Amino acid sequence: MDRIEALFAIEQIKQLKARYFECLDGKRWSEWGALFTEDATMDIAGDQPGAGNVVKTAAAITDTVSRLLTGVTSVHHGHMPRIEILSADKATGIWAMEDLLVWAADAPRQGPFSRLHGYGHYHETYARRGEHWRIDSLRLTRLHLELS
Amino acid sequence: MDRIEALFAIEQIKQLKARYFECLDGKRWSEWGALFTEDATMDIAGDQPGAGNVVKTAAAITDTVSRLLTGVTSVHHGHMPRIEILSADKATGIWAMEDLLVWAADAPRQGPFSRLHGYGHYHETYARRGEHWRIDSLRLTRLHLELS
Amino acid sequence: MDRIEALFAIEQIKQLKARYFECLDGKRWSEWGALFTEDATMDIAGDQPGAGNVVKTAAAITDTVSRLLTGVTSVHHGHMPRIEILSADKATGIWAMEDLLVWAADAPRQGPFSRLHGYGHYHETYARRGEHWRIDSLRLTRLHLELS
């Protein structure tokens, strides 16, 4: 792949992740779910109390995350991507992240806290499906987490 | 427009928005005002108490924002742009944002608070004037706002 | 330098700075030190209590920063780069930044605080060494600093 193709793919993946965040915090779940490959995996088990183990398939990821964020105002930001294009349809990426979750008074809780402010990294792989890059796997690690 | 032209325009608009933030928080108002088209519009009415309605023209935008930030230490960050180049001289962009405003003890207040910490999105359009992209419209929406 | 070369160099420098943050917060010090030119300079004297004057050479920078962060959980994020490629092997960059430092109970302190939350800018120059861009100088300025 030449430099133009690689730069173009990197920008496409940055915009894919931008839509990920917009749809996640805007609770546009069907649009959000379509950003993953059908058999994508998500591993946020390490830090999200109650999140359980690795979640498999886009449908299960969407179902799990939409339930976790019911009644929660969320802000997720990504920073400083290191995206590597491995081939015409495979890529990897590491993103720094920050998230702020505020539970409404009557929302189901994940633990004895109503506010979560965290920092960490997404470790991701991407696959191209036709014209579009999709998230094929997502693993979240944490640097710091403040619960109150 | 080919891919190289599009990638170059996207990077130019990212740097335009970077200067927007640098000049805004550095209170370099004449440099900041020149980043807008002459007849640009700004709509921050939805969330900034006291900001009023849509502001029209670069001169009025600069006047309004420089007054709002008098005596205020401000930090504005943009994240995760989704920039779409529509033609050689038109583009749109959505940015996630975070802002922190801290009012000095003797600064004019916008309400019963001396600290604002907010999160939201900029929805923008851009126009090219000669060699330079400029902000043609800016609308701010909020995900979350903390006043204290 | 043509547009493709410039865009490619800008992306390389963004990824260099991404590794800077990953290695800094992950305390991967030998990998971090290798991101600087041998005779690089760092000036964080303006705001980091106890940091002293300008630090010279990659070895001294690594030694100084690794000591400052001993026992400290750190999160550093960069935003909104304005990178200018001056020639095939020289470039400049300005980045907005945010950092959060939390000292462990038994960690050496830099002052009467155990938490630092700051905002500012990195002003940097880069030099190319063979295939790789490296940080040649780094100066940190502050917009706002909260100590508690």
**Res C53: pLDDT:** 78
0.90 exceeded by pTM: yes
Q: What's the CA gap between A133 and A81, in Å, rounded? A: 16
What would the pLDDT profile of A120-131 be if each residue is shown by its tens digit?
999 999 999 999
Which residue in chain B is spatially nearest to C6 when comparing CA positions? B8
A48 in Cβ contact with A110 (< 8 Å): yes
- Residue A49: pLDDT band (50, 70, 90) is low
CB atoms C17 and A80 under 8 Å: yes
**Res B49: pLDDT:** 53
Which residue in chain A is spatially nearest to B84 when comparing CA positions? A15
CATH at residue B55: 3.10.450.50
**Chain B contact present for C147, CB below 8 A:** no
**Chain C contact present for B1, CB below 8 A:** no
Which residue in chain A is spatially nearest to C17 when comparing CA positions? A80
- Residue A48: pLDDT band (50, 70, 90) is low
Chain A nearest-CA distance from B43, in A, is 20
CB atoms A7 and B7 under 8 Å: yes
CB atoms C94 and B15 under 8 Å: no
| Element at B28 (helix H, strand E) | none
- Count of CB atoms situated within 10 Å of the CB of C77: 22
- Residue C47: pLDDT band (50, 70, 90) is low
Nearest to B128, CA basis, from B89, B80, B101:
B89
Could you tell me the sign of the dihedral formed by the alpha carbons of C57, C61, C67, C68, in that order? positive
**Which among C3, C94, C144 is the nearest to B75, CB-wise?**
C144
**Which among C7, C21, C73 is the nearest to A96, CB-wise?**
C21
What would the pLDDT profile of C92-127 be if each residue is shown by its tens digit?
999 999 999 999 999 999 889 999 999 999 999 999
Q: What's the CA gap between A20 and B35, in Å, rounded? A: 29
Chain A nearest-CA distance from C14, in A, is 7
Strands A90-103 and A72-87: what pairing?
antiparallel
First-last CA distance in chain B: 48
* Lowest-confidence region among A103-112, B41-50, C60-69, C99-108: B41-50
Is residue C65 packed enough to be buried (19+ CB in 10 Å), middle (13-18) or exposed (0-12)? buried
* DSSP three-state, residue A21: helix
C-alpha angle B72/C21/B116, rounded to 5°?
A: 20
What would the pLDDT profile of A66-97 be if each residue is shown by its tens digit?
999 999 999 999 999 999 999 999 999 999 99
Amino acid at B3: R
**Res A5: pLDDT:** 96
**Res A44: pLDDT:** 86
Number of domains within chain A: 1
Percent of chain A with pLDDT strictly greater than 90: 91
Nearest to C78, CA basis, from C8, C137, C16:
C16
- Residue A50: pLDDT band (50, 70, 90) is low
Average pLDDT, chain A: 94
**Chain A contact present for C28, CB below 8 A:** no
**Res A47: pLDDT:** 56
**Chain A contact present for B145, CB below 8 A:** no
- Residue C44: pLDDT band (50, 70, 90) is confident
**Res C42: pLDDT:** 96
Residues of C in contact with A118 (CB under 8 A): none
Residues of C in contact with A98 (CB under 8 A): 75, 77
Tell me the average pLDDT across C23-49. Answer: 90
Chain B nearest-CA distance from A67, in A, is 19
A51 in Cβ contact with A64 (< 8 Å): yes
Q: What's the CA gap between C79 and A97, in Å, rounded? A: 12
What the block records as the tokens of C111 is 């002052």
Which residue in chain B is spatially nearest to C123 when comparing CA positions? B22
- Window 53-112 of B: residues touching C by CB (8 A cutoff) are 73-75, 77-79, 100, 102
**Chain A contact present for B34, CB below 8 A:** no
Counting as low any pLDDT under 50, the low residues of chain B are none
Range of the domain at B60: 3-147
Q: What's the CA gap between C26 and C29, in Å, rounded? A: 8
CB atoms C82 and B25 under 8 Å: no
